[in-house]
Amino acid sequence: MTELLNLPGIIVEDSKEIEGTLILSIKVEKKTAVCPRCGQSTHHLHENKRYLV
């Protein structure tokens, strides 16, 4: 599934279909991220987000 999506830096860990909806559990390869609010780099998880595509 990871290769099919072709999203650099994204790894699909799990997938399941519920009532015609495909749900993907993913992780990011990077160990750090930049906060969109303050601009500082961090390696701590602050929140998880769910996106409907």
Within a domain: 52: no
Q: List, in order, residues 6 or more apart from 1 with CB less than 8 Å away.
A: 12, 15, 24
Cα distance between the two ends of the chain: 16
pLDDT tens string 4-52? 888 898 899 999 999 998 999 988 888 888 877 788 888 877 667 777 7
Within a domain: 29: yes
Within a domain: 50: no
Within a domain: 49: no
Within a domain: 19: yes
Please tell me the total count of domains within the chain. Answer: 1
Asked if residue 13 lies in contact with residue 26, where contact means CB atoms within 8 angstroms, the answer is yes
Domain range for 26 is: 2-42
At residue 2, the 3 state secondary structure works out as helix
Confidence at residue 26, expressed as pLDDT on a 0 to 100 scale? 87
Within a domain: 18: yes
Within a domain: 51: no
Confidence at residue 46, expressed as pLDDT on a 0 to 100 scale? 66
Within a domain: 10: yes
